Amino acid sequence: MGALCVLGERALVEGFGLIGATVLATDEPAAAWRRLPADVGLVVLTPAAAKALGDLVDAPDAPLSVVMPS
């Protein structure tokens, strides 16, 4: 099983580090998406990050992703 990564605005993602997730707190989701660690199996996205990433999350080689409820 791959690692868990949480990507989005700092206020919404910081706490996930407490459970061992890799936290990518950023205002530039596309740049953070491109530097995801190779072992990531699941990315949790904030709604704003998901909107900014658009179709990048649907690429065939992209890790599984889910969007936090708004």
Phi-psi region of 54 (alpha: psi -120 to 50; beta: other; left: phi over 0): left
Q: What is the DSSP string of 1-62?
A: -PEEEEEE-HHHHGGGGGGT-EEEE-S-HHHHHHT--TTEEEEEE-HHHHHHHGGGGGSTTS
How is the chain split into domains, by residue range?
Answer: 3-67
Residues whose CB falls within 8 Å of the CB of residue 70, separated by 6 or more in sequence, listed in order: 47
Q: What is the pLDDT of residue 1?
A: 67
pTM for the model stands at 0.94
Residue 56 has pLDDT above 90, yes or no: yes
Q: Does domain 3-67 have CATH number 3.90.650.10?
A: no
Which tens digit of pLDDT belongs to each residue from 22-46? Answer: 999 999 999 999 999 999 999 999 9
Please tell me the distance from the alpha carbon of residue 30 to that of residue 45, in angstroms, as a whole number: 12
